[in-house]
A and B are shown apart, each in its own frame.
Chain A
């Protein structure tokens, strides 16, 4: 008796894990053949190293008023006329070394960026996983809330969260809490993208047979969500997180520029640009230009790397 030949399923090489995939041939090959990715990675490596090693690379601690000497204020960069060799990017009106301020500011900007991306990812992944897996009214509530949030500009929501937090805290604690307020404000406005992506992947995964097998074997719903579905929906999250890092750094800079972010005594890159901007028309250009260049380089490098990662991990573009 002859049997009709069944169509054999096409081979689907599934990636073994995030780390294995990151080191797998395709992505590494793509990295070696992408100029923008390699330059971006180099720039980021330098900036990250500078931020981490700031206390050793800086000439002074810009947060320590005792180290400042007002005689050295408003000095131009070392190579310009009237420059001082000790302050090679010049000083601001408070005699703070611009180079040292940038190192410390970069540090703060990156801390806020990474922490708010982590917060947004944790909130977004959890809510997306829950909505996609449970469905029904839970899903509808989460996604409608996300839609409402998305219909406001991110910066407006961040300003709102920021304002509420500042109103809730006693004035004396504003400055110490400024960094946490920023992380919370930026993190809580950026989770929507993660939630949407994870939700749609979860809805695909939850109907697959391996999930049914787990249900048959008495695995709890929480167990299925966390140990079965979560590892299978994390791929796209990496790309979003990378691109979001650039966004978060920019949002922090914008908030600080508007004066609701980091205080002048603890300047981030955005605060430095705001301070410099006030004196730009007095001819003190170096205080605003150098932090701006660093900010642009950072965000551009992160975005280019994110773009590359998105293409490299997209099987349709290989």
Chain B
């Protein structure tokens, strides 16, 4: 992990949901703080893809925003190619931020409806000063449009003249316009039809191969994640519970929550269906369970799980945050057919 392009250590983000001080005094209630991201560590080697998966509300989109500087972290460190970015706002320092870009979830909200496509794609080149000359910039926009599978003439159109998949292509063209090395993709395909999802994913893989991009890919869709990832991190209530190479996660999931997620993938043969699978809802993140956050839903929980938070420990090729796995209490999963 020495040549990691992106290194995240102990990343934390808390949101203060407390009511005003005067109300708290009157009601004798304390502060209410949500630990949206609660000590996340990962590193992404250059040219690889790390995917973060988890249910909604587990903090994966917050990690994306923290990396891009859209919200300030409450603690921890974000290093990009050796430059510390925690505490620096979006766009600063420009020479580093130019090398990281983001693709958003909603292709309808991520493009300014009153701007022409050429201006949208050209904006990063203008503000980061990579193509200050308008004519030069326009040539680059045309090239980018054709690169992502649109035509140069589309630059004169407005975003509403395009379909969701085409808009996501515009979004990608904007993201690669400053020749970044690192792309954060926050559920880039979840608003698209399945057939269009495949096109966008193929385009992203092609980009990775041609431009040598590093991806942080955020998704709740394991099929998509399986297709694109080198490494997968599973998040639950603000913490990474398992981080492993993609084939490991699908073949030998260790954490009970990872196993639960994999079982939610529809399977025609209905194999691998145990009876003691955890059920239930994600607990309220304002008052997360003591000890291991997952213990109320976990079939293997014991007294230790209820009182003591597990550490993120290496287990084979993976890192797992689970007492049962560390103690060897958990029966190894039968080998799965990956994908």
Which A residues contact B (CB, under 8 angstroms)?
1-6, 8-9, 12-17, 208-210, 212-219, 223, 228, 231-232
Please tell me if B114 contacts chain A, counting CB pairs below 8 Å: yes
Q: If A3-B223, A14-B160, A209-B105 touch, does A215 touch B91 (CB 8 Å cutoff)?
A: yes
CB–CB A16/B114 < 8 A: yes
C-alpha spacing A316/B192, complex, angstroms = 26
C-alpha spacing A15/B90, complex, angstroms = 29
CB within 8 Å: A-B pair count: 116
C-alpha spacing A73/B62, complex, angstroms = 80
Q: If A16-B160, A217-B123, A217-B124 touch, does A9 touch B108 (CB 8 Å cutoff)?
A: yes
C-alpha spacing A1/B226, complex, angstroms = 10
21 contacts between A and B (CB under 8 A): A2-B265, A2-B268, A9-B164, A12-B160, A14-B113, A14-B160, A15-B113, A15-B114, A16-B114, A208-B110, A209-B105, A212-B68, A214-B123, A215-B69, A216-B70, A216-B90, A217-B124, A218-B97, A228-B115, A231-B114, A231-B115
Given contacts A213-B171, A215-B69, A216-B97, 17 further A-B contacts (CB under 8 A): A2-B266, A15-B160, A16-B160, A209-B106, A210-B109, A212-B90, A214-B112, A214-B123, A215-B91, A216-B69, A216-B70, A217-B128, A218-B94, A218-B98, A218-B124, A219-B91, A223-B127
Which B residues contact A (CB, under 8 angstroms)?
65, 68-70, 89-92, 94, 97-98, 101-102, 104-115, 123-124, 127-128, 158-160, 164, 171, 174, 178, 189-194, 197, 221, 223-224, 226, 265-266, 268, 339
C-alpha spacing A218/B95, complex, angstroms = 10
Which one, A1, A16, A223, contacts B265 given CB within 8 A?
A1
CB–CB B191/A9 < 8 A: yes
Which one, B90, B106, B193, B265, contacts A215 given CB within 8 A?
B90
C-alpha spacing A232/B112, complex, angstroms = 8
Q: If A6-B190, A6-B191, A14-B159 touch, does A213 touch B110 (CB 8 Å cutoff)?
A: yes
CB–CB B158/A213 < 8 A: no
Give the Cβ gap from A230 to chain B, nearest Cβ, in Å: 9
C-alpha spacing A89/B190, complex, angstroms = 72
CB–CB B108/A218 < 8 A: no
C-alpha spacing A218/B197, complex, angstroms = 29
Inter-chain contacts of B105 with A (CB < 8 A): 209
Inter-chain contacts of B178 with A (CB < 8 A): 217
C-alpha spacing A216/B85, complex, angstroms = 13
Give the Cβ gap from B126 to chain A, nearest Cβ, in Å: 9
Give the Cβ gap from B123 to chain A, nearest Cβ, in Å: 6
CB–CB B102/A216 < 8 A: yes
Which one, A8, A9, A16, contacts B158 given CB within 8 A?
A16
Inter-chain contacts of A17 with B (CB < 8 A): 114
Which one, B65, B94, B102, B194, contacts A213 given CB within 8 A?
B102
Inter-chain contacts of B107 with A (CB < 8 A): 9
Inter-chain contacts of B113 with A (CB < 8 A): 14-15, 210, 232
Give the Cβ gap from B106 to chain A, nearest Cβ, in Å: 6
Inter-chain contacts of B158 with A (CB < 8 A): 14, 16
Inter-chain contacts of A228 with B (CB < 8 A): 112, 115
C-alpha spacing A232/B158, complex, angstroms = 14
Q: If A3-B224, A232-B114 touch, does A213 touch B174 (CB 8 Å cutoff)?
A: yes
CB–CB A208/B190 < 8 A: no
C-alpha spacing A210/B92, complex, angstroms = 18
Which one, B70, B111, B128, B160, contacts A218 given CB within 8 A?
B128
Give the Cβ gap from A268 to chain B, nearest Cβ, in Å: 38
* In the A-B complex, the 10 residue pairs with the closest CB atoms: A218-B91, A14-B113, A209-B110, A217-B124, A231-B114, A14-B160, A215-B90, A209-B104, A210-B112, A209-B109
Report the nearest B residue to A231, measured CB to CB.
B114
C-alpha spacing A260/B264, complex, angstroms = 76
For A9, A223, A231, which residue has the most chain B Cβ atoms within 10 angstroms? A9
Which one, A214, A218, A231, contacts B92 given CB within 8 A?
A218
Report the nearest B residue to A212, measured CB to CB.
B70
C-alpha spacing A231/B112, complex, angstroms = 9
Inter-chain contacts of B268 with A (CB < 8 A): 2
Report the nearest A residue to B65, measured CB to CB.
A212
Inter-chain contacts of A2 with B (CB < 8 A): 223, 265-266, 268
For B191, B226, B339, which residue has the most chain A Cβ atoms within 10 angstroms? B191
Which one, A209, A210, A218, contacts B90 given CB within 8 A?
A218
Which one, A8, A13, A217, contacts B91 given CB within 8 A?
A217
Give the Cβ gap from A218 to chain B, nearest Cβ, in Å: 3
Inter-chain contacts of A208 with B (CB < 8 A): 109-110
Q: If A16-B114, A209-B110, A213-B174 touch, does A8 touch B193 (CB 8 Å cutoff)?
A: yes
CB–CB B108/A12 < 8 A: yes
Inter-chain contacts of B102 with A (CB < 8 A): 212-213, 216
C-alpha spacing A228/B159, complex, angstroms = 14
Inter-chain contacts of A232 with B (CB < 8 A): 112-114
Give the Cβ gap from B303 to chain A, nearest Cβ, in Å: 37
Inter-chain contacts of B174 with A (CB < 8 A): 213
Inter-chain contacts of B109 with A (CB < 8 A): 208-210
Give the Cβ gap from A25 to chain B, nearest Cβ, in Å: 15
Report the nearest B residue to A9, measured CB to CB.
B191
Give the Cβ gap from A271 to chain B, nearest Cβ, in Å: 43
Give the Cβ gap from A83 to chain B, nearest Cβ, in Å: 57
Report the nearest B residue to A7, measured CB to CB.
B191
C-alpha spacing A231/B69, complex, angstroms = 25
Inter-chain contacts of A13 with B (CB < 8 A): 160
Give the Cβ gap from B270 to chain A, nearest Cβ, in Å: 13
Inter-chain contacts of A4 with B (CB < 8 A): 221, 266
C-alpha spacing A16/B156, complex, angstroms = 12
Report the nearest B residue to A219, measured CB to CB.
B127
